[in-house]
Chain A
Amino acid sequence: MSSPLILLPGDEVPTDYLPSNGSAPLRLGPGLRLLSQAHPTPASTSKHVLTATQAGILSTDNKRNAVSILSSSNRRYIPTPNDLVIAQVHHSSVDYFYCMITPQSPHAVLGQLSFEGATKKTRPMLRGGDLVYARVLSTGLGAGAEVELACVNLATGKSEPGGLGPLNGGMVFDISTGMAARLIRASSASAEQQQVAGLVVLDELGKKLEKAGGFEIAVGRNGKVWVDCSNSEDHAVRTTVAIGRCLTTIDEHNLNPTDQRKLVTRVLREMKIES
């Protein structure tokens, strides 16, 4: 793999950057489109070219034989099925909770019974302002369609992946959507893949706060991160704020792993949390 390639709209993707896995068809991710070549050159066998439609880094995945463009990380969240989001309940009706995913978009609906083990008699009583960790079930077609959320896998009746449902206690911090995607990758991937996402902050915080009772974290693709430290008793509030401060500062200043470690140490010392 050569150096990262930055493309602007209209730029053609050089063929030597494409994954060379011949067995599976090439998958095009967001930001790319297939055009027929305007001036076919005798050298190239293919009649088509891939051109970028967004500005960003070309990202290839050899395993899935996929190629896509990673564009600006600070964009607004647009719901996509199967994304995990942190939504805030706005109001409820007989059948649905109406939730906010992003403040400017129309409300998303969350069924009153789309929780693990929920029946008409035992269902979570959520009020306006409560938080839920939910999966985007469908986004509908076309403009003005409703986004539907669920906290349960409808096929199995379990909350899959674990942790979906109401979020009690804790606090939510706003981060950029790009940072949220990185946090999800860093927390779900194995150790060497964490290097890829360039985030060591969660590991570092986990090590330092182990004695203080640890913490819980939920990352929503919509640029929200929920942090709870209810185990750390009298330090709970301070620890929560410290973790949130670490995450938002790293997001704001694009810190590298060394600076992330330094920041964690500094913030914990400033907040007088012994580690």
Chain B
Amino acid sequence: MGGPTASLHPLSRADGSASYRCPATGSNVLGSVNAPIELPGRRDALKPEDATIEVFVKPGTAPGGVGERHIEGILRDALSRIILGREKGYPRRGVVITLAIVGGDSIGRGASYLPILPALLHTSILALLSASVPLSMSISATILAVDSSGKIIREPSSADAAATASLHVLAFTSKGHLLLNESEGAFNFDTWERVYERALTICHGTSALGSDGDVAMTETVDSQPLEGLVRDTVEDRIHVEYAWKIDAA
């Protein structure tokens, strides 16, 4: 089973877009970002100095419901921490992120949205990067399941996720800060600590923080760190677009 794959700019009309596929969890998400755009009406009344961030999650086969609204709120809170909404041209305008779940198991009404949350986060960060929205840092996220014997499963399939004792989604910024933690099920603090260490390793390679705050990115048993996936995808795209400049230099 291969690692997750991503591509930038699959959509030509959106300002920025990305598609993300994770074979382990079976999620496949297409995301687009339009920013900065003029918002209709007076939706900026609460925070006139900041950009309004809107997230829409569209399930592939069913109409959206309560689960989607809930996950949209989680995504909006996490992303608003890293989007610099006060940069020039952004205050009182909107950053609209649309995420379509195009593949994988459909999530039933009322079922947990956690298994697909890392894919949604990765898609939105890649789409934001491709739209050149100012960000303070980039993020990476992963999902871990803990079964009843205390074993940690990385990126569980939907069948595994249903059988486990607890599910944890953790997102880290590129500086190694914990940005988001959503857990469900029964677990104790020790389990969470172990989950945190493992997630940090998955997202950033070995969790050795250098003295200058840089995270050393090395290959581990967990193959390529997810932070590297985001970086490689963006660097590949920029290499293609600026081939004329790089060749000349």
Contact = CB atoms under 8 A, between A and B. Distances in A.
Interface stretch (B103-111, B159-167, B239-247): B239-247
Contacts of A31: 132, 134
A130 to B, nearest CB: 25
A220 interface: no
Contact of B39 (A3, A75, A76, A143): A143
B76 interface: no
A81 B129 CA distance: 25
Contact of B248 (A78, A106, A195): A195
Contact of B129 (A8, A11, A57): A8
Interface residues of B, number: 47
B39 A53 contact: no
Contacts of B194: none
B147 interface: no
Interface in A147-188: 178, 182
Contacts of B137: 9-10
Contact of B130 (A3, A72, A143, A195): A72
A196 B89 contact: no
A197 B87 CA distance: 29
Main secondary structure of the interface of A (DSSP, over half): loop
Nearest to A74: B9
A6 B232 CA distance: 10
Contact of B246 (A4, A33, A71): A4
Given A74-B241, A75-B15, A198-B245, A10 B173 contact: yes
B248 A196 contact: yes
B91 interface: yes
A182 B248 CA distance: 14
Question: Which size class do A's interface residues fall under?
Answer: 35 or more
A70 interface: yes
B69 interface: no
Interface string B33-46: 00010110000100
Interface in B126-154: 129-138
Contacts of B242: 4, 57, 70, 73
Nearest to B237: A72
B235 interface: yes
B161 to A, nearest CB: 30
A55 interface: yes
A11 to B, nearest CB: 8
Contacts of A65: none
Contacts of B247: 198, 256
Most A Cβ at <10 Å: residue of B8, B235, B242, B246: B242
Interface in A218-275: 254, 256
A73 to B, nearest CB: 5
Contact of B213 (A6, A39, A74, A197): A39
B38 to A, nearest CB: 6
Given A8-B234, A57-B238, A195-B248, A71 B138 contact: no
A55 B36 CA distance: 17
A6 B235 contact: yes
B138 A10 contact: yes
A22 interface: no
Contacts of B230: 8
Contacts of B132: 31, 54-56, 71-72, 75
A6 B135 CA distance: 15
A132 B130 CA distance: 31
Interface of B: 8-9, 15-16, 36, 38-39, 44, 82, 84, 87, 89, 91-93, 129-138, 173-175, 212-213, 230-231, 234-235, 237-249
Interface of A: 1, 3-4, 6, 8-11, 31, 33, 38-39, 41, 51, 53-57, 70-76, 78, 105-106, 142-144, 178, 182, 195-199, 254, 256
5 contacts: A10-B174, A53-B135, A75-B131, A105-B38, A254-B244
Given A9-B134, A75-B15, A75-B16, 17 more contacts: A1-B249, A3-B246, A6-B238, A9-B135, A10-B136, A10-B138, A33-B84, A39-B213, A54-B134, A54-B135, A72-B130, A72-B131, A78-B36, A195-B248, A198-B247, A199-B244, A254-B244
